[in-house]
Structure 1
Amino acid sequence: MRKYIEGVVEHQLQCEIRRYNTESLQMRWPGLGAQEYDIWFTCTIRHTDGVFIITSFLRHTPATPTPGQAHYRNWAAIADRAALTTSTVMLVLTRSPSVRVGLVKQQSLHCQFDVDHKAADLTVEWRLQRHGERTTLFSHSSRSGQTKGSGVPLNAIGRGNASLTLPLTKQSSEGTYVCLVSVPPLFGSHDITLHIMEPPRVSLNVDATISLVDRGEQKVVCEAEGYYPLDVEMEWFRESSGGGGGLLPEKLVTVLYSSHRHHQDGTYSLSAFFLLHASLHDSGSKYFCRVSHSSLRMPIRKSFTLIVTEYDSWNAALWLFFGFGSILVMVAILFVMLPRLSSARKANQHKPY
């Protein structure tokens, strides 16, 4: 077992030893020195950060056979200071107990095994458990030579590598994949959980700096697109320019949200928007949209700075004057031209041609 965990710090490992029942299958292990009355244990070593899981099968041969040891519950108790000599005869290892992968990606699920002899009766299987249903993806028996499914090269199995290569991932690829390795009377397996994680693409409908006049308004939209799964969180905040560095950003409560939009590739989109009312005391404030998602180590932030200029009442009045003046001139022209057009029309009606 030691060669598979070299370089690992001791406190990163969890070890569990259990008695192992061969389900009343009493047969002699093909290895050297094995007996039909051997007692079996499993030793499972887990890396605390989820780097790997190793399950080893330990064989102990008692000095004399004890009757009624077909089931491990009938075994004699082991004293506190008793020392049992065991041999590791088989192990099953995965270096991918939990996998996070995006959509339309090639992914391999690691499964490795080692046996202390050339196993003539070896079976390797991969199963998928999803929504309460179990599907066999691959199976190979060295005894019968039969192979069903694909994803595991047969020449790799001969080297102890049972890793499964998946087709391009899609939403339905999520689930628990089970690697099973059997050499009678031993049966080892590891569960590998595959999570589809697609990070969102975040954008704003405004530039990094926007300028508005006092009392002006603008709709600001934050868009998160192409994420999976559905658990996304979007928030808008404001950082005042004159509040000092000690104040926390203010969360906006006037934000509205669209419904989640589901796309053909299985991903989702969501919009968070609000109506920005510009005022002079907000000039220089920074607004940012923060998007959190299970696929992200850190939330994504997109921001803009608001610049507010003073409302010029004189210019506004001047534009209003010219606007009304233009309208009055047009009305006057129409008032003068309409009688002439009417007279010309009547004159044309009395002409014989």
Structure 2
Amino acid sequence: MRKFVEGPVDRLQCDIHRYSKGMSRVRWPSLGGKEHDIWFTCTLRHTAGLFNITTFLRVTPATAMSAHQPDFLSWLTIGVKEKISASAVMVLMTRSPSVRVGLQKETTLHCQFAVDHKVPHLTVEWHLQQHGWHRTKLFSYSSSTRQTEGSGVAVKGIAGGDASLTVPYTEVSSEGTYVCSVRVPPLNGSVDIALHVIERPRVSLTTEEEQIPRVVCNAEVFYPLDVEIHLFKETSSGQLPEKLEDVTHCSHHKHHDGTYSVTASVRLRPSPQDSGCAMYSCRVSHVSLRGLYIHKSIIGPGCWTWIHLTLPGLVCLIGVIFMFIVLTRRSCCYGNKTVTRR
């Protein structure tokens, strides 16, 4: 297990559970395997989400269990301070237990396994679980029959323990829990990978010149649904931006690809306290921004900024310089002419 572990060991969470084969009497194929072996699973999870590792541990008890009852009815009793020796025979892991990806992207879900004997008879499967218990088979491969169903996994890599799945084009419908299963009789292990589709909003801020002007902030084609929009007003008095309360939020619009758009607007009604021009800003927060936000600003309608004031003057200045150059060249040309008297 150590060769699969990365990062500081103080970030690991370890769980050990008994594992039941039920009524199966299949012997583990490696050296020392017995039909009455008792099994455990040891799962290591990195608390920062770097990996999940599940290892199957084999213990051979001194006495054999009955062949006519499930193995869990004759499990080995372990004392409080008692130690037992176990052999790690199969490891199943993922380095992508949780994946965040945007729309129309290609992403690879990592799944790797290792077995303690060569050329095991194994079956690899991938399923997508959505909306409760609804499961869709995406891929399957059997080493005994060499048959393959589905796509996304490089069959050549399975022999080396790589069962990673490639999702070529992500959509909203790609979201869910992907389950990588590896079966080597009598063991059946799996790892879950949560795929989250995250698309950041496209934000625009405009003014609409109506009888009562308004500022409109649009957040478009984002996913998932929840988004927060706040509008602010800042005057030339140097005070902190004022959060506007009288904001109208339109209902979310759902697009055909599953993304959403929403609009927030505020009507500009001047008050006696207003002096000079105002700047309006829109602040949009969404899960795709990881605690940050998108900020857009715009000058209020009817305001003259330094751009408006200097742009005409700049145009006039360029015209004057151009005319000065033209007249200077003309005067030079006339001054250099040779006058011939008859």
Contact 1:38 1:60 in 2 (8 A): yes
AA at the equivalent of 2:147 = Q
Distance (whole Å) between structure 2 residues aligned to residue 217 and residue 278 of structure 1: 10
| Shift in Å, 1:127 | 0.7
Distance (whole Å) between structure 1 residues aligned to residue 303 and residue 165 of structure 2: 63
Contact 1:262 1:268 in 2 (8 A): yes
Give runs of aligned pairs for residues 210-225 of structure 1, distance below 5 A.
Answer: 218-225=213-220
TM-score, scaled to structure 1: 0.78
2:221 is equivalent to residue 226 of structure 1: yes
2:255 is equivalent to residue 263 of structure 1: yes
Aligned residues: 298
Alignment correspondent of 1:104: 104
Contact 2:233 2:243 in 1 (8 A): yes
AA at the equivalent of 2:296 = K
What is the aligned counterpart of 1:300 among 269, 287, 294?
294
Structure 1 pair 307–169 and aligned structure 2 pair: CA distance change class (3 A): closer
| Shift in Å, 1:67 | 3.2
Alignment correspondent of 1:169: 170
What is the aligned counterpart of 1:237 among 232, 241, 245?
232
Alignment correspondent of 2:15: 16
| Shift in Å, 1:72 | 2.5
Alignment correspondent of 2:46: 47
The sequence identity of aligned pairs, in percent, is 53
2:235 is equivalent to residue 253 of structure 1: no
Q: Residue by residue, what CA displacement relative to the aligned partner does 1:24-53 show, whole Å, maximum 9, x if unpaired?
A: 212221112222221111000001011210
Distance (whole Å) between structure 2 residues aligned to residue 174 and residue 307 of structure 1: 43
2:183 is equivalent to residue 182 of structure 1: yes
Structure 1 pair 251–86 and aligned structure 2 pair: CA distance change class (3 A): same
> Is the deviation greater in 177-186 or in 250-259?
250-259
Contact 1:42 1:58 in 2 (8 A): yes
Structure 1 pair 71–265 and aligned structure 2 pair: CA distance change class (3 A): same
TM-score, scaled to structure 2: 0.80
Give runs of aligned pairs for residues 1-353 of structure 1, distance below 5 A.
Answer: 1-6=1-6, 8-62=7-61, 64-68=62-66, 70-131=70-131, 132-206=133-207, 218-239=213-234, 242=237, 249-279=241-271, 281-283=274-276, 286-297=279-290, 298-304=292-298
> Is the deviation greater in 283-292 or in 74-83?
283-292
Distance (whole Å) between structure 1 residues aligned to residue 217 and residue 120 of structure 2: 61
Alignment correspondent of 1:329: none
Contact 1:283 1:307 in 2 (8 A): no
Distance (whole Å) between structure 2 residues aligned to residue 223 and residue 187 of structure 1: 50
Contact 1:44 1:54 in 2 (8 A): yes
Structure 1 pair 230–35 and aligned structure 2 pair: CA distance change class (3 A): same
| Shift in Å, 1:253 | 1.5
AA at the equivalent of 1:293 = H
Distance (whole Å) between structure 2 residues aligned to residue 24 and residue 118 of structure 1: 26
| Bigger Cα Rg | 1
Structure 1 pair 251–120 and aligned structure 2 pair: CA distance change class (3 A): same
Structure 1 pair 146–309 and aligned structure 2 pair: CA distance change class (3 A): closer
Q: Residue by residue, what CA displacement relative to the aligned partner does 1:284-338 show, whole Å, maximum 9, x if unpaired?
A: 655321111121111212123559879xxxxxxxxxxxxxxxxxxxxxxxxxxxx
Structure 1 residues without counterparts, runs of 5 or longer: 311-353
Contact 1:282 1:308 in 2 (8 A): no
| Shift in Å, 1:105 | 0.8
| Shift in Å, 1:250 | 3.6
| Shift in Å, 1:74 | 2.7
Contact 2:277 2:303 in 1 (8 A): no
AA at the equivalent of 1:146 = Q
AA at the equivalent of 1:229 = P
AA at the equivalent of 2:232 = F
Contact 1:174 1:195 in 2 (8 A): yes
AA at the equivalent of 1:39 = I
Quote the RMSD (CA, aligned, Å): 2.5
AA at the equivalent of 2:191 = H
Distance (whole Å) between structure 1 residues aligned to residue 297 and residue 269 of structure 2: 17
